[in-house]
Each structure stands twice: as C-alpha cells, then as structure tokens.
A and B are shown apart, each in its own frame.
Chain A
Amino acid sequence: MTAIDIQDLTKRYDRFTLHPVSFTVPKGYITGLIGPNGAGKSTIIKAMLGLVRPDSGQIRFDGRSFPQEERAIKEQIGFVSDENHFYEQLTVAELKRNFAPFYPEWSDADFARYANLFELDLKKRIKDLSKGTRMKVSLALALSHNARLLIMDEPTGGLDPVFRRELLDLLSDFIQDGERSVLFSTHITTDLDRVADYIICMNRGRLVFSESKESILERYVLVRGSNELLDRDVRQEFIGLRETEVGFEALHADRRRATELFRNAAILENPTLEDILYYTAKGEVLLG
C-alpha cells in the first residue's frame, strides 16, 4: 500500500540537477524527507504538488497521476509550508472563505476546532502574523478538508519547541486509522528522531537511502576513537569522518563490520538522524 510512488523523477535547472530519483511513501505512516539545503527536497515536493513540471519520470498518488487526475489528487492533499502562499492583506477568516470552496470535503467545524486549539485570531491579517502563526494557519487549513495525505515542507522552522512537540501528537492522530499518510520534509531531524516511521534521505540531487528509521538506526553506527586507529584502509570504511588533534568521530554504514573492526579499541554508539545526515553530506563533499 503506497500513498506516493515516484519513479525516475528528474529535473534540470541551471545550477541544480535532480538525478533520477525513485522511492515510495507507504500509506498509513509518517515519512521524513531529509537532506541539507540544496539536496532536492523542495524540487520533489513542488513536483508532487504539480507546481514544477519534471523533465521526466512519474508520480502516482494511490494509483492516480498528473495531469489527468490533478483535481482529485489535490483535493486529497493537505499542504503545509513555511513559505507564504497567502494573500497578505486577507484576514485569517477571509483566507478560509477563499480556500474552502476548492475542497468538497471541507469542514468548518474542523477548522474552528483547530483554530481554537492553535489559538488563532481570525480577525488578524496574514501580513501581521509571525512565521510560526502563519504555519499554524496553514496547518489548520490542511487538516480541515479530510485530506488523506499531509505534505509538509519544512513545517517546524518558525515553530516554538512546545508547539513542535504538540505537532508530533497531531501527526500521530492523523495516521491513527492507518489510511492516512504524512510526508514531512525537514533539515531539523530531531523532530523526526521521535515519530518518523520511514526516512528518505537526499543529498545533492540524489537519493541516499529510503528505508524504515528502525533499520537505518540499527545499521549505521557512530565510531569515536584515537587517531592511531586511522590508516588508509580504515578511512575508506567510513561514510564520513571528522578528525581533530585529539581523536576522530566517523559514521560507518555496517554496525556488524565496525564492531569486528574495532572491538574494544573505539567507542561505538547509536547515531541520530542528524549524525547520519551530517556525515553523509560531509562524506560526499570530500569525494566530490
């Protein structure tokens, strides 16, 4: 069961190329799309929303595809973004009245509930709202039309830590029935360390991996040790390496192999997604 199926998607800009990318977003789960700036996350999301026309490749939503079924696809997607797509002069209430008619399953009751929960002032103009509050408006709109798929582009940027934690509960609620899915693009990986089920990692326009967070965190291992352990062969083992005068830290993609290699000579620890992202990006910079 897949919510989104992407095959061989490519896009070429003057200064950025999305190389053929294929992955699926499973239905009923929270999937994180991670990568440093310039990885290609936004290009992929814009292509999913029909805002960017890919040079080649295919995107299917639960079997439907652009452009034939654009309308049906868009009705079922709730899109949350930190970029401001709103008309600045409108109040929150006016914005809602403009937004609702596009969605057959729009619910005023749901919107009122979220507006209340997020403490939104409906009479305020969009231009007077903070970045975080704009995000909450975007989220309340996205959650009020019975969307089957929530696509969130860097949603946590302007949000304070308290609301970010509450957002995780909202997302868990959203996928409770197993029929709805969330795709969450971010470079703030601590949010995903908690609740994400699957992780898609991009770097420099290429897919690095796409698998369950459990298996990623079990496979990768963070190695810390003294510099005497490093020779040419050992260096080549690592995905990314950070050396200082007093020792090194590195990421290895095979826990079993690293355990055999270092035994008790180095400290092996569980990496976070941020560690994985950092060393993946760093490693490729060195190679490239």
Chain B
Amino acid sequence: MNIVLSHTSGEPFYLQIVEQLRRQILTGVLLPGAGLPSIRQLAKDLQISVITTKRAYEELEKEGFIDSKVGRGSFVAGVSAEALREERVKRLEQDLLQLVEEARAIRISYPELRDMLRLYYEEDES
C-alpha cells in the first residue's frame, strides 16, 4: 500500500488519502481482508494530523470500502465483484462527462469525438 500526498495541489489531505486508497482497492492492489495501518500510525508516517487520517478512514467506511473494528484496526472490506464494477462504471461516466465538456469547450463535434474515441479504443484493443 502506498499513499503519496501532494502538499501543493490544494486538495485536502483527507481527500487525497480517500482517493488513493479507493483506487488501490478498486484496482485490486489492496485485497479484501488486507489490514490497513492504524489512523495514528498513518498520521505519523505521513506527518499529518490524526484528525485528517481519521476523517479519511471514516469516509472510506461510509462508502463501504473498509471496515473498522475497535481494538482490531481497519481492513479492506469484502467488496463484491458486482459492486466493484458498478463503482468503476460510475467513475467512467464521470470521466466521460468531463471529456464531453472539454470537447465542447474546444469545439470538437460529437462525430469528431466519436472518431477519436474509436481510434483509441481499437488501438488499445489490438
């Protein structure tokens, strides 16, 4: 497990932790049942506030990515394959939305965008 924080991006630390852990869980780098460092250990390792790491874990717990048990620490939750896919599709939709907005902003028409997309999709396939 790796967490690398940017001190200059302006994005709150707790969000950076949430996003990086979420990504590592979704991509299978962290497997269900894997133990996570305690909030105090993580705060020490990253040299940040305990409140920040606590907030990040609480957020991940709310989203169902991790389980925390008193006295036993935090673990990656058993995320089902279906839930994983659903979450990834949701993310893909968000990325697509961004893509469309950017295309509109620089006046790329839908057929042009579609052709570009096809080019990349098929290139990757082969």
Contact = CB atoms under 8 A, between A and B. Distances in A.
Do A and B truly interact? yes
A172 B51 contact: no
A176 B48 contact: no
A194 B40 CA distance: 14
Interface string B1-18: 000000000101010000
B10 A269 contact: yes
A172 B12 contact: no
A214 B40 contact: no
A214 B44 contact: no
A30 B44 CA distance: 12
Interface string A201-220: 00000000000111000100
Contact of B51 (A29, A168, A178, A269): A29
B-side interface mostly: helix
A173 interface: yes
B46 to A, nearest CB: 9
A176 B40 contact: yes
A172 B40 contact: yes
Nearest to A213: B49
A165 B43 CA distance: 14
Contact of A194 (B12, B48, B55): B48
Contact of B44 (A28, A176, A197): A176
A147 B40 CA distance: 19
Contacts, number: 44
Contacts of A84: none
A168 B47 CA distance: 7
A171 to B, nearest CB: 9
A37 interface: no
Contacts of A178: 40
A169 B10 CA distance: 24
A175 B40 contact: yes
16 contacts: A29-B51, A30-B50, A172-B43, A175-B40, A176-B44, A195-B43, A195-B47, A196-B49, A197-B49, A197-B50, A198-B51, A213-B49, A214-B49, A214-B51, A214-B52, A214-B55
Interface of B: 10, 12, 14, 40-41, 43-44, 47-52, 55
